[in-house]
Structure 1
Amino acid sequence: MSCRLLYLNTHRLSAHAWQQGNLRAEGVFDNDEDGLQQFAKYLGEHSSSQFSLLANVAEEGHALETIPFLQGGDRQTLITRKIGQHFLGTPLAAAISLGYEKSQRKNEKLLLSALTNPAHFEPWLRRISDAAVPLAGIYTVAQLGGLLLKKLGQDSSRCLLLTVQDHSIRETYLVDGNAHFSRMAPLTDSSIAGIASALAAEAGKLHQYLIGQRLIGRDESLPAFIVAHPLTIPAIEKACPEHSKLNFTLIDSHVAAHQLKLHTLPADNRSDQLFLHLLATAPPAQQFAGETHRHHFRLSQIRQGLIAAGLIALLGGVLFAAKETYDAQNLRAEASALAASETDLNHRYQEISATFPQLDVDHETLRRLTNRYGDLIAQQRQPAPSYRMVSRVLDRMPAIVLEGIDWKIGQNSRLTVTNQASAPEITTVRGSIRLERATARQTLAVFDQFVDALRADPANTINVLQRPFDIESGRALRGGDGLDEEAQPRQFAVEIVRSTAP
């Protein structure tokens, strides 16, 4: 939004447009009905601008106050009550915190300032409200005095500042950059000599007044800064007393304008343009307008915040779309490269396959056959698990000698691969039992231990095909008649049916 500044004195209001260090006067409106109508028309023509009001009026009061340590709404309520006690409840007031006391309990020191004649501002503020233009705030020349000295590199801890404003001299007593006292003195003689003598005289009067109010010591030396046009400075230097309690420092208004980066140089001794430029570039945090007067300014802030959020969202969307476009382009390039690589590989494959022997089947059929063969190989079952199981049992029984072992799947040897998946494994073990000087009962006991060890696996079903001794029903079991018969190996045969179903 463009920035426009309003300067209000005791007689009229002037409007200025500020842009990049340049001030341009746009109108002067008298404090009468015609001037107010012209001002309302001016506001309607620039309703999209943001306005700030700088006041230079005599009705300005300052007071020091101490309040208990409070926060939030309680603090604001107490400050409003104190302003009402000092300034009869004017709505144009500001409170500046000066810190907290450390010697006693944590009391807060405040500088209360107010424009004590709100009726002088009311017609202008009403036109601003009717035009619905944003008013950033109301400020005073005295309020900007400390900021002016700070920008110019001068010490403003305790000093006097004298400037020429309109047809008067603005005298301000500053402490740590804050105006503790300010008044206007009429300027009857506008000549260079008259201005010089008036500035020197008013500085002495203000010094005596501050001593009388016990704001400074009687023997205390006080810096006094005077802002003047370069043509007036020699006369002011001559008018200022050499031996006094005031240490005068003259500030060239043109040099000050260059330091403040104000491109529009003051044409006379008035410092209005310097303060207006300060207000446009570095407005103070505190101002005198109430929230009622700043309603449209708050709305403009919300509007600008929404626009800024929308622009950020738009920028984020553009960046995201650019990133996605870049990624999509990379994917398309990668897909093109893969397609080219596939084409090259297919061409090379065709070249290589052309050298293969010619078969009665095409390549696709041959590929299906090889894939089917691989599937069949993967479905085949091997005797290794059954052999390992038998081997573990034989390791524990050294008296049994393995003479032969057969392995097959199912009883039918012509099973298909599909049927083989559910058919049991049949392992036939043939062996002999060799024990020295063992009776028949001892031999059968070893055989029974072997069979029990095979039955330990619940997946096994054991069928005895041949026992070491033929035992007929009703016939007693007895040993042989001689030593040769007892030492002869006893052969046996066992069938292990192993189920692989889950």
Structure 2
Amino acid sequence: MLTRYLHYLDQEGLTSYRSAGGRLAFVARHATGAEGVATFSQWLQTADKTTHTLLANLADEGFQNDSIPYVAGSDRKALITRKLAQQFHASPYVTSLSLGREREGRRDERILYTGITRPGALDPWLAELQGREAALNALYTPPLLTQALLGLLRPEVPQGLIVSFCRAGIRQTYFEQGSLRFSRLSPAPEGDFSTWGEACLRETQKTLQYLSGQRWITRNTRLPVWLLLARQDFAPLLAAVEQAAQLEFHLVNLNTLCQAIGHREQLTTSDSQPLLMRLALRESRAPQLAPDASRRIHRFRQARQLIFALGVLAGLALGLSALKHYMDGRELQQQRSQLLAEIQSENLRYQQLLASLPAQPAPLDSLRSVVEAEARLHTRAIPPQAALLPLSKSLERFPDIELLQLEWDAGDAASTTSPARLVLNINAALPVAAASDPRAALQRIQAFFADLRPRVNELVLQEQPFDAESDKTLRSDAETLRKRPEFKLRLAIRKEQP
């Protein structure tokens, strides 16, 4: 459960409250003066290490309206810091509010400077908070909460006056175009809130005169006034203020406003302190007056919380990343198991197919070698027509020679180192009549040889029908004359490697 401390400061002293679970609980009351500061210091020693918010409802406030050239960045910050030092030279509790740009001329930026004019009323309390290293997140005043209060009232006019009661007195806050322009705290009259009607009318008439003197409103303009009261105080207050000239009072139920921002207890008086405290706890972007030195511990805690939050986010991111990698790993493992099962199934099917095939005549490696050699043979072998065509041309030129037998040899066509070679062994014969003249037969064979030789790479006459040695006489007996003269040739075609 988120716990915070809210300290409400007025002219009577400092009251501490504890906020937890949407409820505000009274903790301690510290009177104005050294004794009250001492009791506050002792209380801080035992207080929880949590955030502190200070709401100061004091009459010592200043408001200055000014215009500055329209600049941005560090130049604007330096200019506003110098202006604040000029307006509130003795107070560190200052801030500025932008009221927009002027519509004419250079269109300068309109600025409202506000701050505590008597810093001594705050110094002891803030010094104790800083000395005890308490985390002060903001120092608010009721006027600085005007923007949030206007969000609850939702006025339909651009300007007006908001009046509220508290033990410190009558608070009047003037707004224009949805922004704070001026505020004042009048002393509290005697008696119950229901009897403050005449004092309220008197103080609002003073404020009306001031606004007219500043020319913020014209003299004949009726000024709307929103009076924040408990319902039981409507009648007596309305009877006291209804006859006011130039003032148009609107009574607003204080309980309705408090319930709209989460205050659960029913208010029994017109004290606006619970509303202001709820607004102070609720706001996080409203302007505040605490100097940077007083908020140093709060800044450190914010930085630590930010680092912790970033660490948690980083841890969550790493955890999610690790979970994603784990899920991806599981998915990959499942895919791997599925693929292995499919591979095993396909292997089993392959083995079954192999078993259903007839037995191979030779081992697979031997068959692969034969197929590769056959492929090389087809790519390197010389086709038979390369030798048969030259032979047929010569046979056409010698029609009397008859081809008896033909054998061919491709050699080692599978070899990759020796050139391809085709060899033809030819058996041929002349007619029987040629046997009567051996010399003419030999000349005919030589002519055939000479005709065929240019068309081939190699040609060898291996065997002749007659002995053709020069020192012997050619003879033909009766048996030779009955046989055809046969001869043998060896023809070769080569294919050189590229």
Give 2:67's aligned residue: 66
Aligned pair in 2 of structure 1 residues 353, 293: CA closer, same or farther (>3 Å)?
Answer: same
Give 2:302's aligned residue: 301
Give the conservation status (yes or no) of the 8 Å contact 1:167–1:188.
no
Matched, 1:409 2:412: yes
Aligned pair in 2 of structure 1 residues 383, 39: CA closer, same or farther (>3 Å)?
Answer: same
Give 1:385's aligned residue: 379
Amino acid at match of 2:79: L
Count of aligned pairs: 434
Give 1:424's aligned residue: 418
Could you list the runs of 5+ residues in structure 1 that have no partner in the other structure? 360-365, 411-419, 431-443, 452-463, 468-490
How far is the alpha carbon of 1:162 from its aligned partner?
0.6
How far is the alpha carbon of 1:85 from its aligned partner?
1.8
Match runs of 1:123-162 below 5 Å? 123-155=124-156, 157-162=158-163
Give the conservation status (yes or no) of the 8 Å contact 2:195–2:237.
no
Matched, 1:496 2:495: yes
Distance 2:135 2:63 in 1: 27
Distance 1:155 1:243 in 2: 21
How far is the alpha carbon of 1:159 from its aligned partner?
0.7
Match runs of 1:69-88 below 5 Å? 69-88=70-89
How far is the alpha carbon of 1:198 from its aligned partner?
2.1
Distance 1:46 1:387 in 2: 107
How far is the alpha carbon of 1:292 from its aligned partner?
1.1
How far is the alpha carbon of 1:405 from its aligned partner?
8.0
Deviates most, 144-153 or 61-70: 144-153
Deviates most, 58-67 or 237-246: 237-246
Aligned pair in 2 of structure 1 residues 124, 344: CA closer, same or farther (>3 Å)?
Answer: same
Give 1:434's aligned residue: none
Matched, 1:372 2:365: yes
Aligned pair in 2 of structure 1 residues 335, 495: CA closer, same or farther (>3 Å)?
Answer: closer
Distance 2:160 2:44 in 1: 39
% identical equivalent positions: 25
What's the TM-score, normalizing by structure 1? Answer: 0.75
Give 1:187's aligned residue: 188
Give 2:434's aligned residue: none
Match runs of 1:71-470 below 5 Å? 71-155=72-156, 157-242=158-243, 244-334=245-335, 372-373=365-366, 375-376=368-369, 379-380=372-373, 381-386=375-380, 407-409=410-412, 422-428=416-422, 464-466=457-459
Could you list the runs of 5+ residues in structure 2 that have no partner in the other structure? 396-405, 425-449, 461-489
What's the TM-score, normalizing by structure 2? Answer: 0.75
Give the conservation status (yes or no) of the 8 Å contact 2:145–2:286.
no
Distance 1:43 1:388 in 2: 112
1:79-121 Cα shifts (integer Å, max 9, x gaps): 1111122222421111112222342224222111111111111
Distance 1:390 1:22 in 2: 113
How far is the alpha carbon of 1:137 from its aligned partner?
1.4
- Which is greater in Rg? 2
Give the conservation status (yes or no) of the 8 Å contact 2:174–2:181.
yes
Distance 1:199 1:193 in 2: 11
Give the conservation status (yes or no) of the 8 Å contact 1:152–1:259.
no
How far is the alpha carbon of 1:299 from its aligned partner?
0.6
CA RMSD of aligned residues (A): 4.1
Distance 1:19 1:246 in 2: 41
Give the conservation status (yes or no) of the 8 Å contact 1:192–1:235.
no
How far is the alpha carbon of 1:315 from its aligned partner?
1.1
How far is the alpha carbon of 1:150 from its aligned partner?
1.5
Distance 1:77 1:370 in 2: 97
Distance 2:122 2:384 in 1: 114
Give the conservation status (yes or no) of the 8 Å contact 2:9–2:15.
yes
